[in-house]
Structure 1
Amino acid sequence: MQQYDQSPDEENDELYEHHRIQVDKKQSMVRIDKFLMDRLANTSRNRLQKAIEDGFVKVNDQQIKTNYRIHPGDVIVIALPEPPRDTEVIPENIPLDIVYEDDTLLIVNKPAGMVVHPAHSNWTGTLVNALTYHLQNLPTMPDNEGRPGLVHRIDKDTSGLLVIAKTEKAMTHLAKQFFNHSIERTYYALVWGEPDPEDGTVDVNLGRGFKDRRITEAFPEGDYGRTAITHYKTLKQLRYVSLIQCNLETGRTHQIRAHMKYIGHPLFNDATYGGDRLVKGTKFSKYKSFVDNCFKIIPRQALHAKSLGFIHPKTEEFVQFDSELPEDFKQVLEKWEGYVNTID
């Protein structure tokens, strides 16, 4: 079964049929995840359950729950955001910004605009294409073919730090830390408005939107989606925008972007979550012109994965890596600081 997690920068919400299975007339009524486990290679029960929760598995053209029990004659269709494709990665000579490297792992600073791994509409030019050129024999996590070295990812238009595993032992060790939520991940974001309270925690389920599968939506009732926890802290208030620090306890798709929209403070110039318009401030032409100029400086969501902290797989000691804000982020921050100073 192909990896079903939709690329965070996916711009095509079409689904591609990967499997169509008709249940035998003599089949006993077992849970659908157990049934599919016996029939699909290279997958896991957790992966199947998530595919069902995200609406990629239908029975008789109807969405079902993970505890659905199949019936004789059922038609099961698995349709995913990526078309069927082999998992071969083509190495490409793309420069990497390497922050740290040893014989166990690599820390890279990904620029905004670079997709992390090959996926539909982005089979080349990705971080993984670059990694396979510069490094040989990178390990791959089970059920994650075509993504060597990766234990986590960030969105295409998010800049910042990623840890890459160079050995199977390192991959297992790091993956366990991500699973246990013990990795320290700090992001800097420029958001619209001034959060109240200034520091807080957003503990609201997130899941794929019902109307648009590309969007991650908040489900405060907890009846859909998966647990998602973001801790935020205001670093600088600039009247109409604020620089905040976010620390992730979980790692859901578009987590910070969706959580900040939910509390009314979408990321600056985040087109997917409503941050690419005037959310706060006046409608005067001078102010609108200023904001439009800021959008041109940072033509993406203002989000940067600033630091990573974890137990080193080899030394078993805690290590932490930090990065500078990229130039576009620094420039737009300086513009807002200057603007606020002129009106105070």
Structure 2
Amino acid sequence: MASEGPDIEEDDAGEFLTIAVGAGDAGGRLDKTLAGLTEALSRARIQALIAEGKVGLGEAVLTDPSAKAAAGDYRITVPPPAPAEPLSEPIALDVLFEDEFLIVVNKPAGMAVHPAPGSTSGTLVNALLHHCGSSLSGVGGVARPGIVHRIDKDTSGVLVVAKTDAAHQGLSKLFAAHDIDRAYMALTRGAPHPARGVIEGAIARSASDRKKMAMVKTGGRHAITHYAVERQFGPEARPTAAQVALTLETGRTHQIRVHLASKGTPCLGDQTYGSGPPAEPVRAAMTAAGLARQALHARVLGFVHPVTWEPMRFEAEPPADMAELIVLLEAL
């Protein structure tokens, strides 16, 4: 017999629903059974809560939505909704330049640029809201105030953020016209051949993995990356790693990482686009250097100030993990 509905409690940790599954309802899929006994949660939401360990029966925490439902009282914890606007957080920033119109920062690896599912705090936007207060441009939207461009969470380097709508619009036009100097440095598995060249190929969402990007023959967005090998490490005839300078004509999602992987020389430490492990001496150097992300750094950002029209150029040296890795690779 179906329950009359869940009992609902609430405190600062969120809502707690108790759903009674009778003997007549037992035996079916857990997620489907629980969803059929309440209108408060969809089946998809119940599946997500099970995956998060928020559903229990007695002392047991349930983790498999396809398991058979047993009779008993199921307790479901529903966390409170995330705030609609990002919160200010006192996170230290490496500020390279700041005026009343914009701010240029050296973003550390591991910091997401703006809040997103899975990264709702500790982002650059959270830090900027504390640093800049209410002066950030609102053009980027509630979750992305001031953000004109992005670099990946695990990529370090220079990034500019608008503090006024006029600056935001001006910077956006520069990026749209590709009138921005952007130079990156990567440490790669092996060395691209030839040592200098252009990688050109459209990029789109991967058909086999929606979390990845891929080069495609039809559709996608045109992408151009210029590269030059600055130094090679290991045997001269067959280098095991390289330091590569890259400049962008376009700014597609994961562009450098996808383009380097297409050459068979992905960024060291790239868990998404690295198709195979580097040589053992390189792996040992990565471990010793503490490199736990893709070895990619946004080294230079140059543009004309969108309000004062002053030419501006900012450069940030690679952080400790990449700098130490270079030293260790030179000893190979």
Q: TM-score, normalised by structure 2?
A: 0.71
Alignment-mate amino acid for residue 336 of structure 1: L
Cross-structure match for 1:194: 191
Superposed displacement of residue 253, structure 1: 0.8
Cross-structure match for 2:29: none
Cross-structure match for 1:45: none
Cross-structure match for 1:216: 213
Provide Cα deviations, 1:265-304, integer angstroms capped at 9, x if missing partner.
Answer: 10111111116612xx4xxxxxx26523414521110000
Q: Quick one: structure 1 residues 276 and 102, their matched pair in 2 at CA, closer, same or farther if it must change by over 3 Å?
A: farther
Specify every segment of 5 or more residues in structure 1 that has no aligned partner in the other structure, as ranges: 1-16, 18-83, 282-287, 340-344
Specify every segment of 5 or more residues in structure 2 that has no aligned partner in the other structure, as ranges: 1-43, 45-80, 234-238
Pairwise mapping of residues 131-170 of structure 1 onto structure 2 (< 5 A)? 131-137=128-134, 138-141=136-139, 144-170=141-167
Q: Quick one: structure 1 residues 327 and 105, their matched pair in 2 at CA, closer, same or farther if it must change by over 3 Å?
A: same
The structure with the larger Rg is 2
Pairwise mapping of residues 160-309 of structure 1 onto structure 2 (< 5 A)? 160-219=157-216, 221=217, 223-238=218-233, 239-274=239-274, 277-278=277-278, 281=279, 288=280, 291-295=283-287, 297-309=290-302
Cross-structure match for 2:312: 319
For the residues of structure 1 that align with 2:165 and 2:159, how far apart are their CA atoms? 17
**CA RMSD between the two structures:** 1.9
Stretch of structure 1 that moved more, 289-298 or 100-109: 289-298
Superposed displacement of residue 186, structure 1: 0.5
For the residues of structure 2 that align with 1:170 and 1:259, how far apart are their CA atoms? 31
SS at match of 2:272: helix
Q: Quick one: structure 1 residues 106 and 240, their matched pair in 2 at CA, closer, same or farther if it must change by over 3 Å?
A: same
Q: Quick one: structure 1 residues 276 and 134, their matched pair in 2 at CA, closer, same or farther if it must change by over 3 Å?
A: farther
Provide Cα deviations, 1:45-89, integer angstroms capped at 9, x if missing partner.
Answer: xxxxxxxxxxxxxxxxxxxxxxxxxxxxxxxxxxxxxxx976411
SS at match of 2:104: strand
SS at match of 2:133: coil
Alignment-mate amino acid for residue 132 of structure 1: L
Cross-structure match for 1:72: none
For the residues of structure 2 that align with 1:254 and 1:95, how far apart are their CA atoms? 26
SS at match of 2:138: coil
Cross-structure match for 1:335: 328
Provide Cα deviations, 1:123-173, integer angstroms capped at 9, x if missing partner.
Answer: 11101001011112211226x331011100111110001001111111000
Superposed displacement of residue 327, structure 1: 0.8
Preserved CA contact (<8 Å) 1:107 1:164: yes
Alignment-mate amino acid for residue 255 of structure 2: Q
Alignment-mate amino acid for residue 227 of structure 2: Y
Matched, 1:107 2:104: yes
For the residues of structure 2 that align with 1:178 and 1:131, how far apart are their CA atoms? 21
Q: How many residue pairs are counted as aligned between the two chains? A: 247
SS at match of 2:188: strand
Match of 1:117 among 108, 114, 119: 114
Q: Percent identity?
A: 43
For the residues of structure 2 that align with 1:216 and 1:333, how far apart are their CA atoms? 28
